[in-house]
Amino acid sequence: MRRLPSTYQDDTPLAWQTDARCAETDPEMFFPEKGGSTAAAKKICSGCEVAPECLQYAIDNEEQSGIWGGLSERQITAVRLGKAPNPFTGQIAA
């Protein structure tokens, strides 16, 4: 899916949320019940231009639930702990 250019302009920490695609959807989709499907949320994230910022926010804040930047909590934890590369930067946390 083609990503649109981000429109947020300022450097405040949460300015990226201005362009969050999930803001136009049901937020419950991003916090499914245990064992529930994450496919619909991840599909929306795949077209979100601020997914890298969203993932970084989740990593920095040690988010323990939900879909952030297109990754599940388990995937986010793996990136945060250096067990998987950040899918946007390719870097592995030290």
Residues in contact with ligand SF4 by the rule CB under 6 A: 20-22, 30, 44-45, 48, 50-51, 54, 67-70
**Residue 86: CB minimum distance to ligand SF4, A:** 13
Instruction: Tell me whether residue 77 or residue 94 sits nearer to ligand SF4 (CB atom).
Output: 77
Q: How far is the CB of 39 from ligand SF4 (least distance, A)?
A: 13
Nearer Cβ to ligand SF4, position 46 or 91? 46
3-state SS assignment for residue 71: strand
Residue given tokens 């529930």 in the structure block: 36
Query: In this complex, which beta carbon is closest to ligand SF4, that of residue 18 or of residue 94?
Result: 18
**CA atoms of 58 and 69, how far apart (whole Å):** 8
State in angstroms the smallest separation of the CB of 12 from ligand SF4: 16
Q: How many Cβ atoms are within 10 Å of 40's Cβ, its own excluded?
A: 15
Quote the least distance from Cβ 52 to ligand SF4, whole Å.
8
Helix-strand-coil percent breakdown of the chain, rounded to 5? Answer: 40, 0, 55
Number of H helices, E strands in the chain: 3, 0
